[in-house]
Amino acid sequence: MEKFYFELKHVCKQSGARYGILHTPHGDVETPMFMPVGTLATVKYLSPEELYEMGSQVILANTYHLWLRPGEDVVSNAGGLHKFMNYKKPMLTDSGGFQVFSMSKTRKIDEEGVHFKNHLDGSPLFLTPEKSIEIQNKLGADIIMSFDECPPYPCDYKYMKDSVERTLRWAERGKKAHQNPNQALFGIVQGGDYEDLRKLSATSLANMDFDGYSIGGTSVGEDKETMYRMIEYAIKYLPSDKPRYLMGVGSYDSIIEGVLRGVDMFDCVLPTRIARHGALMTSQGRVNIRDKKYEYDLSPLDPKCNCYTCRNYTKSYLRHLYKCDEGFGKRLLSIHNINFLLKLTKDIREAIKEDRFLDFKNEFFEKYGLNVKNPRGF
């Protein structure tokens, strides 16, 4: 079994963006990459084979959700997530920290951990850095995350400082608790929009020597300019020989802006969630498949797309499936959006390798009418 390590293969001479290879126990994958989300050990509606066909590399599953259902012992009994869900490529689990923040209305944070409520039945739950790692050890993903607090935005300085310092202590405890040398452990940089706190977080984590570093606390209500600043604050203080993962970001403009700032990994439920609601990413911009104008439209979702959906089905049929709330429609639309982002990151890698990523970015933004001040689309 190959141990986890990151190989920085090339830095784009035009932009400074990075192309690399992540070596993992389940094979090598290329960065920058987008990771589809399989919250409950399933990328909703899709088979592993469909994901492979689209060039999917790492996929993500959620520790919090799997802890509740089916429980980490059920997954462990199957030999871990890969065997449980029959996904043969690398996997990543988050720490549950973000779900504590996003899925429970009430939570009480103390030094030991977080008391909060089960979103399914309201029962009390308690998650600690050790417990999060223990669950993730049982789930058995190739890459796992430190347990962190994800403060809201905006957040006052005093609270953020206390939180960052506590999250650093939690990172230490999690690192100590981590039992499986075959699973890479990432630290999570927090600190909101405060450069000194991002610096404190990043440098302290770097000193602890994690296998990689996540940038957390984004996509929590801040505008995009602020998010890009947060990324810059964090990355400045992170070692260049380790992978950087921007958590929960999957809009195409943000992926490109993230890569430009040195990010290697992205994940987001966005492409699948909006697909299930009929919103598609295409080379012609956003398509809302429910639109009446597609009723008789026999063209594919995107004439420039080569995904299974675009090769075989018309807008007219997809609109019909959407209007009837058919599962096969959700499946076909999810395929298209995931493929769009996997293809985008593939194109990004090519552009970096050819030292033309700035040109790529400018062409893409011009084509989609995007700019940082006025990000359209997704």
What residues act catalytically?
Answer: 94, 267
Restricting to residues 184-223, which ones interact with a second copy according to CB under 8 A? none
Q: Which stretch binds a second copy (CB under 8 A): 106-114, 182-190, 317-325, 338-346?
A: 317-325
Distance between CA atoms of residues 311 and 299, nearest Å: 10
Work out whether 299 is an interface residue with a second copy (CB under 8 A).
no
Minimum distance from residue 332 beta carbon to a second copy (Å)? 8
Work out whether 288 is an interface residue with a second copy (CB under 8 A).
no
In the complex with a second copy, the residue whose CB is nearer, 22 or 43, is 43
Q: Per-residue string for binding with a second copy, 83-102, x by CB under 8 A?
A: -xxx----------------
Number of H helices, E strands in the chain: 15, 16
Q: Which stretch binds a second copy (CB under 8 A): 185-193, 238-246, 280-288, 312-320?
A: 312-320
Q: Give residue 62's region: left, alpha or beta (phi > 0; psi -120 to 50).
A: beta
Work out whether 5 is an interface residue with a second copy (CB under 8 A).
no
> Token pair of 270, please?
């966005």
Work out whether 78 is an interface residue with a second copy (CB under 8 A).
yes
> Token pair of 113, please?
């951990």
Work out whether 371 is an interface residue with a second copy (CB under 8 A).
no
Work out the number of other CB atoms within 10 angstroms of the CB of residue 325: 9
Minimum distance from residue 115 beta carbon to a second copy (Å)? 25
Work out whether 293 is an interface residue with a second copy (CB under 8 A).
no
Tokens 């992926």, located at residue? 255
In the complex with a second copy, the residue whose CB is nearer, 43 or 338, is 43
CA-closest candidate to residue 174, choices 147, 200, 150:
147
Work out whether 362 is an interface residue with a second copy (CB under 8 A).
no
Q: Which stretch binds a second copy (CB under 8 A): 16-24, 26-34, 318-326, 346-354?
A: 318-326
* Start-to-end C-alpha separation, the chain: 39
In the complex with a second copy, the residue whose CB is nearer, 171 or 332, is 332
Distance between CA atoms of residues 228 and 221, nearest Å: 13
Minimum distance from residue 137 beta carbon to a second copy (Å)? 18
In the complex with a second copy, the residue whose CB is nearer, 195 or 297, is 297
Burial 55-65 (b: 16+ CB within 10 A, else e): ebbbbbbbbbb
In the complex with a second copy, the residue whose CB is nearer, 265 or 318, is 318
- Beta-carbon contacts of 4 under 8 Å, excluding residues fewer than 6 positions away, are 22, 23, 24, 25, 142, 143, 182, 183, 184, 211
Give how many residues touch a second copy by CB under 8 A.
Answer: 35
> Strand pairing of 59-61 and 91-93?
parallel
Q: Per-residue string for binding with a second copy, 319-338, x by CB under 8 A?
A: xxx-xx-xxxxxx-------
Restricting to residues 11-40, which ones interact with a second copy according to CB under 8 A? 40
Specify the 3-state DSSP secondary structure of 20: strand
Sheet containing strand 27-31, strands side by side: 5-11, 18-24, 27-31
Q: Which stretch binds a second copy (CB under 8 A): 66-74, 134-142, 220-228, 248-256?
A: 66-74
Specify the 3-state DSSP secondary structure of 243: coil
> Strand pairing of 59-61 and 33-35?
unpaired
Work out the number of other CB atoms within 10 angstroms of the CB of residue 181: 9
Q: Which one among 55, 70, 285, 377 touches a second copy, defined by CB under 8 A? A: 70
Distance between CA atoms of residues 91 and 24, nearest Å: 9
Specify the 3-state DSSP secondary structure of 320: helix
Q: Which stretch binds a second copy (CB under 8 A): 25-33, 72-80, 108-116, 158-166?
A: 72-80
Query: Residue numbers of the site for a second copy (CB under 8 A)?
Result: 40-47, 69-70, 74, 77-78, 84-86, 295-296, 298, 312-314, 316-317, 319-321, 323-324, 326-331
